[in-house]
Amino acid sequence: MNSNTPPEHIPNVAVIITCYNFGRCLGEAVNSVLMQAMQNFELIIVDDVFMDESYNNLLANYQKPKTKVFPAEHRCLAAARDLAIA
């Protein structure tokens, strides 16, 4: 968030999901987060290069509430998490 964001709009929690060739569970994971009672969160998905083109297309146009998708070059899980945290 930038310094102009009102404090009441800053999420209390950031949920980070890293995806590398395990896309079949992504929808279920995202829906689980979105259905939580506490709604002051942001959901960050790091697309760590799926080998399945259908999931690459899905994530390129992914639109869910409170959700941001960041493409990444596949390096390792730690690098994907670092990208999400940054």
- Statement: residue 44 has pLDDT above 90: yes
Residue 53 · residue 25 · CB < 8 Å: no
CA distances for 7 relative to 1, 16, 85, angstroms = 10, 21, 19
Q: Which residue has the higher pLDDT, 44 or 60?
A: 44
13: domain CATH number is 3.90.550.10
The pLDDT value given to residue 16:
92
Per the domain annotation, does 23 fall within a domain?
Answer: yes
- Give the total number of structural domains in the chain: 1
Structural domain that includes position 21: 7-85
Per the domain annotation, does 1 fall within a domain?
Answer: no
DSSP designation for 23: G
- Statement: residue 62 has pLDDT above 80: yes
Encode burial over 60-76: b for 16+ CB neighbours within 10 A, e otherwise: eebeeeebebeebeeee
Per the domain annotation, does 78 fall within a domain?
Answer: yes
Per the domain annotation, does 2 fall within a domain?
Answer: no
Query: What is the per-residue pLDDT across 14-42, written as a single tens digit (0 to 9) for each?
Result: 999 988 776 778 889 999 999 999 899 99
